[in-house]
Amino acid sequence: MKKTGSFLFASFLVMCIFCGNGLFAQGGGSGPGPGPGNTIFGNKVADTPHNLRKARNMGVEDLGEVCVYCHTPHNNNQQIEAPLWNRETPVGPYDMYDSPSIDMIIAGSATGVSLACLSCHDNTIGLDQVINIPVSQFGQVTLQGGTISGCASFCHEIHHKTTFEGTVMGTDLTDDHPISLTYDPSQDPNFHPAANGQVGALRLYGTNKDQVECASCHNPHDNSNRPFLRMSNENSAMCLTCHDI
C-alpha cells in the first residue's frame, strides 16, 4: 500500500513536471496553428526544426511521432554511434577537410555520430526513410528484408524528400570545419586540454572519447543556441573552448 502510494505520488510529480514544460513551451511558442510546437528556437526537440513532423513542406511523411525520425526502441542500427539509431548508415564517400597547417589526424571518412547527422544532412537518404516505422501509428506492417524502407516506399508512400536544401552539406566536407579528427593538444599548443572525453562543456566521441564530431559542437535536441549549438558562441566562446588563441 505504501509502495503504491509513493508510486502514485511519483507519477503525480512526473506529470507536474511535464505540465510545467508544456506550459512553458506553449508560452515560448510563436506562430499559428496546433501541433507539436511552432518555434525553432526551442530547447525541446519538438519545438525545433528537428521535429520532422513539421517538415511536410519538404515532402516529409508525418510519422506521427517526433523521436522516430532518428531513434527506434528496437532493431536499431548499431553501426552508428548514436543510441537506438533508426536510420541507415550513409555511405558517402566523403571528401574530408585537409590543409597544410593541420597537425592532428583526420579520418579518411566521416565516422561515429557524424554519420548520424549526415544520414540526413548529406541529402543522400530521405528524411523520412527510417528503419522502423511506428506500428502505433501505421498498424502492423510486413517487414521486407528486415527493414521497412522497401515496404515504406510503396506501402505508405514514404519517399525521398525533394526540397531539403537549406542545410544540406552534401558529401564534400572539405569546406566545413574538420570532423572525425582526433583531438590531441600535444600536437598543437593552441588548444585547451581535454579531460574525461570533454573539452570544457563540449563532448568528444569515439571509442577513446577523443574525436571531434558534428555533435561536439551541435546538440541535435536543443536549438536554444541556434543553430543547435552546444553552447552560446557569442564572442566565439564555443570556438575558444577548444582553440586557445
Task: Give least dist CB 153 to ligand HEC, A.
Answer: 17
Interface residues with ligand HEC (CB under 6 A)?
40, 45, 49-50, 52, 55, 66-67, 69-71, 82-83, 99, 101-104, 113-114, 116-121, 127, 166-167, 169, 177-179, 181, 183, 188, 199, 202, 212, 214-221, 223, 226-229, 233, 236, 238-239, 241-243
User: Considering beta carbons, is residue 150 or 193 the nearer one to ligand HEC?
Assistant: 193
User: Least distance to ligand HEC from the beta carbon of 228, Å?
Assistant: 4
- CB nearer to ligand HEC: pick between 6 and 232: 232
CB of 16 to ligand HEC, least distance (A): 19
Q: Which one, 6 or 78, has the nearer CB to ligand HEC? A: 78
- DSSP structure string for the chain: -HHHHHHHHHHHHHHHHHHHHHHHHHHH--SSS-SS---SS-SSGGGSTT-GGG-GGGT----S-SGGGTB-SSS--TTSSSTTB-BPPP--PPBPP--TT--SPBPSS--HHHHHHHHHHTSSS-TT-BSS--HHHH-----BTTBSHHHHHHHS-----S---TT---SB-TTS---SEE--GGG-TTBPPPBTTEETTEEPBTTTT-EE-HHHHB-TT--SSTTTBSS--GGGHHHHHHB--
Taking the complex as a whole, how short is the minimal distance between the CB of residue 101 and ligand HEC, in angstroms? 3
